[in-house]
Amino acid sequence: MKSAPTLAIVIPCYNEEEVLPETRRRVSGLLDGLVATGKISGDSAIYFVDDGSRDRTWPLIEQFASEDRHVSGIKLSRNRGHQNALLAGLFSAEGDAIVSVDADLQDDIGAIGEMVDRFLAGVEIVYGVRRTRDTDSPFKRTTAELFYRLIGALGADSIRNHADYRLMSRRAVENLKQYREVNLYLRGIVPLLGFRSEIVHYDRSLRFAGESKYPLRKMIALALDAITSFSLVPLRLITFIGLAVFVGTMLVSVWALWARFFSGNAIPGWTSVVLPIYFLGGIQIFCIGMLGEYLGKTYAEVKGRPRFVVERTVGFARAAPAMTADDDATIHTRA
C-alpha cells in the first residue's frame, strides 16, 4: 500500500496575535485527527507566514515552533500583502499536498478533511468555495459580486466565491513556480494550471477575533491587479473608442459638407474648425489603442508565463525504465 501523503497547511498572518493561539490549537487538532485516521502522514505540518506584522505575531510563531515540531514559521522582512505571503508559504512548505487557509479561520477548516479525500482520489487542485455570503457585510457582498462579474466579463477565468482556501498537489505548486509575475493574483493563476480540479463547499463564519486586514484600499488594489494582469480588454477598449469616434466623424462630415455646400445656411468656419478636431481626435485615440495592442503583447511576453503545463506523458523513455511509468502515481508520495 502507498504510504499516506504529507499535508502542509500554510497560514499567512498579518498582525494576527489575537487569533493565533486559537488558530494553532484548532489546526493542530484537525491535523492530529487526520493523522489518526491514517489519511495523512505523521510528518504533516503547519507553516505560519508572518507578513511583516508589527504586533506579537512572530514571537508567538517562534514559541509554537519551539513547542511543537509540526509547526514551522517563515517571517517576511516586511509587509508584502496576502498574496505574496501565501506564495512564500506555498513555496517553502514541504509536503505532497498543501492547503492554504486564512489565519482568522473564517473558512471552516473542517473542509480540509474532504479536500484530502479528493486529493487521495487523484484530484490535484481542490477549491474551497463558500456556500453563502451571509456573514459578510452587505458592502463586502455587493463589491465582491460586482468584482466577480467584472472580472468574468473581462475574460479572466476565476472560481466564484473562492478565496485563497484551497488544496494543491506538490506537482501543481511546482508548476505554479513557473509563473514569475510580480503582480500576483493567485485566484486567477491557479485555474490556468489546469490539472484535475474539484470544488468543496463550506460555510464561512465571522472572524472570531481581531479585525479584517483587508481594508477597502487593499481590496481595490487586489481587484486592479486581477484585472490588469489577466485582461487586455481595457487596452482594446481604447482602440474601439478611437474607431467609433473616427467613424462617427466620417458620418458627421458627410452631413456637414452637404450643409456647407448645398443647404446654404451653414455657420461660416464651423465645418473647417470642428471637423478636423473630431477627425484628429478619433485618429489619436485609435493610435493610442494600437500602441496599447503592442503594449499588451509586450506585457504578456515580459510576464513569461509558461505556455503549457504537461499533465502526463505516455510512451516516452521506453529505453530508460529508471524513469518509471509510475511517475503518475507518485504524486501522492514523497519523491
Name the site residues for ligand UDP (rule: CB under 6 A).
12-14, 16, 51, 79, 81-82, 85, 102-104, 106, 212-214
CB of 213 to Mg ion, least distance (A): 7
Residue 157 DSSP SS3:
coil
Answer for the pair 244, 259: CB distance below 8 angstroms, yes or no. no
Stretch that binds Mg ion, among 57-65, 96-104, 216-224, 310-318 (CB under 5 A): 96-104
Closest CA to 281 of 242, 223, 316: 242
Phi/psi for 213 (5° steps) reads: -100, 10
Spatial separation of the C-alpha atoms in residues 62 and 53, rounded to whole Å: 13
Backbone φ and ψ for 210, nearest 5 degrees, come out as 70, 180
Contact 23, 105 (CB under 8 A): yes
Its sign, for the CA torsion 75, 77, 83, 87, is: negative
For the CB of residue 231, give the shortest distance to ligand UDP in the complex, in Å.
22
Tell me how many residues contact Mg ion (CB under 5 A).
3
User: Which one of 15, 44, 106, 197 is in contact with Mg ion (CB under 5 A)?
Assistant: 106
Looking at the Cβ atoms of 63 and 79, the one nearer to Mg ion is 79
From candidates 18, 50, 51, 104, binder to Mg ion by CB under 5 A: 104
Residue with C-alpha cell 465582491? 144
Q: Which residues of 302-316 are buried (b: 16+ CB within 10 A; e: fewer)?
A: eeeeeeeeeeeeeee
| Least distance in angstroms from the C-beta of 126 to ligand UDP | 19
> Could you say whether residue 51 binds Mg ion (CB under 5 A)?
no
Q: CA nearest 229: which of 179, 193, 194?
A: 179
Minimum CB distance to Mg ion smaller for 16 or for 225: 16
Pick what 151 binds: Mg ion, ligand UDP, none; C-beta below 5 to 8 Å, kind-dependent: none
Residue 206 Cβ vs Mg ion, minimum distance, rounded to whole Å:
9
Question: Does 100 engage in binding with Mg ion (CB under 5 A)?
Answer: no
User: Taking CB within 5 to 8 Å according to partner kind, which of ligand UDP, Mg ion, none is near residue 162?
Assistant: none
Report the nearest approach of ligand UDP to the CB of residue 220 (Å). Answer: 13
CB of 94 to Mg ion, least distance (A): 26
Query: 295 Cβ partners below 8 Å, 6+ apart?
Result: 235
**Which region, judged by CB under 5 A, interacts with Mg ion, from 51-59, 103-111, 170-178, 278-286?**
103-111
Q: Which residues pair with 98 in a beta bridge?
A: 8, 168
Is position 53 an interface residue for Mg ion (rule: CB under 5 A)?
A: no
Grid cell at residue 66? 519551539
C-alpha cell at 270: 464651423
**Which residue's CB is nearer to ligand UDP, number 16 or number 96?**
16
Shortest spacing between CB 204 and Mg ion, in angstroms: 9
Q: How far is the CB of 3 from ligand UDP (least distance, A)?
A: 31
Q: Which is nearer to ligand UDP, 132 or 298 (CB)?
A: 132
Q: Which does 239 bind (CB under 5 to 8 A by kind): ligand UDP, Mg ion, none?
A: none
Q: Are 10 and 98 within 8 A, CB to CB?
A: yes
- Tell me which amino acid residue 303 is: K
**Residue pair 186/86 in contact by the 8 Å Cβ criterion:** yes
| Chain residues that interact with Mg ion, rule: CB under 5 A | 102, 104, 106
